[in-house]
Amino acid sequence: MNVNDEKMRLHAIVEGRVQGVGFRYFVEEQAIALDLTGWVRNRWDGTVEVTAEGGREALNKLLAALNRGPRASNVTSVQAEWGAPTGEHTHFYVRSTSI
């Protein structure tokens, strides 16, 4: 198995103008296109939280997309943590807002 195909888990907090600009749906579209599982949601502090699992190369592409964001957004920072996959999700979806 190629190291780029190794299954990983990415947890990211995205800061900036990332709410009210279609950011969650942009992330969902990117993740589905990359065949990732997990979720995205707004948080009450104005950030967007993402948890995604899949191959490392696909997750790196998602991370690049998080840093870029959709046209109307302005991403100021992305805090990313890597971990082992849990396999708890079967698809990628938008979750309800959380604290």
Q: Per the residue annotation, which of 2, 42, 60, 68 is the catalytic one? A: 42
Q: Per the residue annotation, which of 4, 17, 24, 43 is the catalytic one? A: 24
* Residue among 35, 83, 87 at smallest CA distance from 62: 35
User: Is 24 tagged catalytic?
Assistant: yes
The angle formed by the CA atoms of residues 45, 60 and 50, to the nearest 5 degrees, is: 25
User: Is 42 tagged catalytic?
Assistant: yes
Give the whole-angstrom CA distance, residue 7 versus residue 13.
20
Residue 88: CB atoms within 10 A of its CB come to 10
Q: Catalytic positions, please? A: 24, 42
